[in-house]
Structure 1
Amino acid sequence: MKYVPLGRTGLNVSRVCLGTMTWGTQNNQADADEQIEYALANGVNFIDTAEMYSVPPTAESYGKTEVIIGDWISRHPERREEFILATKIAGPGLKYIRGGSNISGKTVIEAVDASLKRLQTDYIDLYQLHWPNRTTPHFAKHFPGTISFSDVERNEQSAQILDILHGLDACIKAGKIRHFGLSDDTTWGISEFLRLSEKHDLPRVASIQNEFSLLHAKDWPYLIEHCVHEDVAYLPWSALAAGALTGKYLGGARPEGSRWTYAQRHGIFRDTPLVDKAVTAYVDVAKKYEMTPAQLALAWCDQVDGVSSTIIGATSLEQLKEDMDAFDLNLSDEALQDIMAVFKLYPVPF
């Protein structure tokens, strides 16, 4: 296993981050225990979760994943220091979470306390804002005209960010969290957090996790360049495009129990004719180089300049093993050329 710095935190994280969002809906406690044990035994020292999980998010599934992780920690308290634990506060819009309110300094403190209780731990290594208070071009909102940046009141957003930073600072000083990061944010969001933290001597953003894959590479190059030069760790999520890049959904297939058989909060927006064509082509490339389509997609993501640690999730131990093996693969120049030939045909398939 290879390890990389988590921004300027002084922490080193494995290139593989164990994602957990299916635990509580598609996976039970025994499944989670098995995955945690395998990941830790094979060098993974980074686990990511969120108060909103499990997915699809519902009032009934809220907090279930943290409870499952907390159950494991309660039975293995001596192993808590073996891994860096990351979780997230939900952004606005979910009525069953703090009435759907914006993130604020006050709600950060409340949410941290609630997560600590569910996780049965004294501290969270990386506490992330799941999505900003303002609407950002994520979840298929990245095409021109989908959202309006001009409608956002900059000073209001800056004031909210400053308030959030004060809440995070209070949690860090209390020893409840060690560092903080962003998720589903933009270059402006990163820069504003950096500007305000420097101006007011408040905690510095350590990382950002955004969707990034062969089917959705909008963060390359501008946001990732920003992360590299500002020492903000870039953590891709959905490197398999919610499973699309495994090839299992080709031709409208919906394997029993798979993620796309569940109702999705934002709909199955990755299911497009162009995605089908792109995935078909990537499957052919994977066959040529004798690897699975999932391994091809993950190995490609891992080698992208500026990527720190890739968040992977699996609904079975077999899938987890397959996915983790991808990070031991080296894509040849020829393989990368074949991948890019497909990418250039389908750069934005959804």
Structure 2
Amino acid sequence: MRIIVLIMAITASVAATAFQHSATPSFLLPTRSARTVPFRATANDDEYPSYSSAIRRRSLMTMMAGGGGGFFSDLFGKSDGNNAANAYIGGNINSGKGPTNEVVKTVNGMRLRRLGGSDIIVSELGLGTQRWVSTDFNAPSKEDVFKFMDYAILDHGVNLIDTAEQYPIPSDGKNAKEGDSELVIGEWMKTRGLDKGEGRKKVVIASKITGGRNVTPKNIKKDCAGSLQRLRTDYIDIYQLHWPARYSPQSNWGQSLAYNLDSDKSPYWRGMGGPTSFEELCLAMQELIDEGKIRGWGLCNDNAYGLTGCTRTAMGLGVTPPCSIQGDFSLIDRKSEENGVAEAASPFNENVGFMAYNTLAGGMLTGKYMDRPAAVDNDDRAKVIEAMNNPRGRHDEFGWGRTLYRYRTDAATEAIADYNKIAKDAGVSLTELSMRWCRQRTLVTTSLVGHSNMKQLQESIKYFTKSNPLPERTMLDIDVSCGLLVSVRILENIAT
């Protein structure tokens, strides 16, 4: 047995060496022009050898270990072909077009980056649509969002719109209904001639199927068809799961990241066959790709386990892996850099793009709540009534205020005060600091920002088209401030 294992190891080593120094089959590797340096427009293998080597190693191991007659599968016995893990699906498998986050081009000052290893290129600023035509007190109307899209997409280099079948939120079923956000986007694309042909290529549409137990192969197909009908288009560029198709502490937007075993074993998840498997999910998404209904797919409100589970399963099946993961990310919510998502998504690992939302922490990072607490936190009854009658934003509404309390903890409010001082030292507003900080994090491909009015959108575009980055000193001050705050909190907990 030891001799067999030794022979296997030597064979794999020799094959890997030969593979890296020989002409690699074109079907296993991206084209030369795609093997480029992240954050650059062009490069060659000598400039970025690690990415190319990683692609070759993964391709080799997939070829040797894959279900389609690979070296190790032949050695340990062939499959009967009935196991989903040994299936092979054809289609456009866009997993090796280049490294995620590389800057492909600049349009009107707006940089466009590669999303994952796909051929989908997205602007660094994306339009978030959760509140479009909703029942929120300051929700933008249909006329407003038409102007948003005209200004951002037709004139200022933005190409990404992120929506969901469940948007707008909140909705009342009368004045605003689920699906209305997609309807408005579809109507705008139709009236602007962007619903098909060359015009359609100017817009990247990301939409989402409602997650949880709703995610089944049948519903993936049915819900995607519904979104396509509302959007009035033949395909969705990025189709995402709004929440994981399994229990995950990440699916509650980070209110608590503690894994609860009782929640996972509850009848909701374990009944009726249990959660949809990674295999079923990957095969269902590949079917949509084969049918030309989506170009790529991704995850939302998931974690490193879900990301690698999907990418590794797709690799084993020979189907298209997810090209993106979307998550809550801001100066005061860095969990995706700390819980393994940034490492997993790296171009050297799973090569998946990251779409950040809530980059302003529900408005907390605009600074408008610094002088007077949100209504839900205020002990002064008169000021609570005043705030509720004239809300500054969602934190002054009791429903949203309770949902978004994670942005108003003692640690968060202290951090916001520190970041505001750093912003003043840098000569920028807290809002600008927050947005440009996100833009410069190596994890982030694009930031999805919601706007209530045109002035806010104009400011966002101004920040995202500034060619000069925030100074290294400012970025360091932010990280030092964050580290010191964490240390102080640890010491306080020890003392008490």
Instruction: Check whether TM > 0.5.
Output: yes
Which of 466, 475, 482 aligns to 1:343? It is: 482
Which of 234, 237, 250 aligns to 1:125? It is: 237
Amino acid at match of 1:260: H
Relative distance call for 1:196 and 1:337 in structure 2 (3 A) is closer
Say if 2:189 is the partner of 1:73. Answer: yes
State how far apart, in whole Å, the 2-side matches of 1:137 and 1:49 are. 23
**What SS does the corresponding residue of 1:243 show, helix, strand or coil?**
helix
Relative distance call for 1:158 and 1:151 in structure 2 (3 A) is closer
The equivalent of 2:382 in structure 1 is: none
Relative distance call for 1:80 and 1:306 in structure 2 (3 A) is same
Please list the CA deviations of residues 156-183 of structure 1 after superposition, one character each: whole Å capped at 9, or x if unmatched. 7775222222222222122111110111
Superposition pairs of residues 193-204 of structure 1, within 5 angstroms: 193-204=310-321
Say if 2:133 is the partner of 1:24. Answer: yes
Larger radius of gyration: 2
Amino acid at match of 2:280: D
The equivalent of 1:98 in structure 2 is: none
Superposition pairs of residues 22-101 of structure 1, within 5 angstroms: 22-25=131-134, 26-40=139-153, 41-56=155-170, 59=173, 60-78=176-194, 79-92=199-212, 101=213
Amino acid at match of 2:395: W
**1:108 Cα deviation from its structure 2 partner:** 0.7
Bigger Cα displacement from structure 2, 170-179 vs 335-344: 335-344
State how far apart, in whole Å, the 2-side matches of 1:240 and 1:248 are. 11
State how far apart, in whole Å, the 2-side matches of 1:241 and 1:24 are. 21
Relative distance call for 1:136 and 1:151 in structure 2 (3 A) is closer
Which of 209, 213, 231 aligns to 2:330? It is: 213
Please list the CA deviations of residues 108-137 of structure 1 after superposition, one character each: whole Å capped at 9, or x if unmatched. 111111111111111100000011122323
**What SS does the corresponding residue of 2:299 show, helix, strand or coil?**
strand
Relative distance call for 1:318 and 1:271 in structure 2 (3 A) is same
State how far apart, in whole Å, the 1-side matches of 2:182 and 2:486 are. 36
**1:62 Cα deviation from its structure 2 partner:** 1.1
Relative distance call for 1:35 and 1:187 in structure 2 (3 A) is same
Relative distance call for 1:149 and 1:5 in structure 2 (3 A) is farther
Which of 393, 397, 410 aligns to 1:258? It is: 393
State how far apart, in whole Å, the 2-side matches of 1:76 and 1:190 are. 36
Which of 336, 340, 358 aligns to 1:238? It is: 358
The equivalent of 2:403 in structure 1 is: 267
State how far apart, in whole Å, the 1-side matches of 2:227 and 2:402 are. 25
State how far apart, in whole Å, the 1-side matches of 2:483 and 2:187 are. 46
Superposition pairs of residues 255-334 of structure 1, within 5 angstroms: 256=391, 258-262=393-397, 263-264=399-400, 267-269=403-405, 270-327=407-464, 328=466, 329-334=468-473
State how far apart, in whole Å, the 2-side matches of 1:211 and 1:30 are. 28
Please list the CA deviations of residues 58-105 of structure 1 after superposition, one character each: whole Å capped at 9, or x if unmatched. 65531121111111012112432211110101113xxxxxxxx43111
State how far apart, in whole Å, the 2-side matches of 1:261 and 1:120 are. 36
Aligned length: 339
Please list the CA deviations of residues 178-235 of structure 1 after superposition, one character each: whole Å capped at 9, or x if unmatched. 1101111111111111122122222211110111111110111421111012110011
Q: Of the two structures, which has the highest relative contact order with CA contacts closer than 8 Å and spacing of 6 or more?
A: 1
State how far apart, in whole Å, the 2-side matches of 1:286 and 1:54 are. 33
Please list the CA deviations of residues 16-72 of structure 1 after superposition, one character each: whole Å capped at 9, or x if unmatched. 111111101211111111111111111111111111111236655311211111110
With structure 1 as the length reference, what TM-score do the two structures score? Answer: 0.89
Say if 2:287 is the partner of 1:170. Answer: yes
State how far apart, in whole Å, the 2-side matches of 1:50 and 1:265 are. 22
Relative distance call for 1:178 and 1:220 in structure 2 (3 A) is same
Is the contact made by 2:329 and 2:359 (CA closer than 8 Å) also made in structure 1? yes
**1:143 Cα deviation from its structure 2 partner:** 4.1
Is the contact made by 1:104 and 1:160 (CA closer than 8 Å) also made in structure 2? no
Bigger Cα displacement from structure 2, 209-218 vs 269-278: 269-278
Amino acid at match of 2:245: N
Which of 341, 347, 352 aligns to 1:223? It is: 341
Is the contact made by 1:123 and 1:178 (CA closer than 8 Å) also made in structure 2? yes
State how far apart, in whole Å, the 2-side matches of 1:320 and 1:272 are. 28
Say if 2:117 is the partner of 1:8. Answer: yes
**What SS does the corresponding residue of 1:126 show, helix, strand or coil?**
strand
**What SS does the corresponding residue of 2:325 show, helix, strand or coil?**
strand
Amino acid at match of 1:227: A
State how far apart, in whole Å, the 2-side matches of 1:265 and 1:193 are. 34
State how far apart, in whole Å, the 2-side matches of 1:159 and 1:65 are. 27
State how far apart, in whole Å, the 2-side matches of 1:278 and 1:14 are. 29
The equivalent of 1:249 in structure 2 is: 369
Is the contact made by 1:136 and 1:184 (CA closer than 8 Å) also made in structure 2? no
With structure 2 as the length reference, what TM-score do the two structures score? Answer: 0.64
State how far apart, in whole Å, the 1-side matches of 2:430 and 2:187 are. 34
**1:347 Cα deviation from its structure 2 partner:** 5.0
Amino acid at match of 1:48: D
The equivalent of 1:96 in structure 2 is: none
**1:326 Cα deviation from its structure 2 partner:** 2.0
State how far apart, in whole Å, the 2-side matches of 1:258 and 1:137 are. 27
**1:265 Cα deviation from its structure 2 partner:** 9.6
Relative distance call for 1:36 and 1:310 in structure 2 (3 A) is same
**1:150 Cα deviation from its structure 2 partner:** 9.2
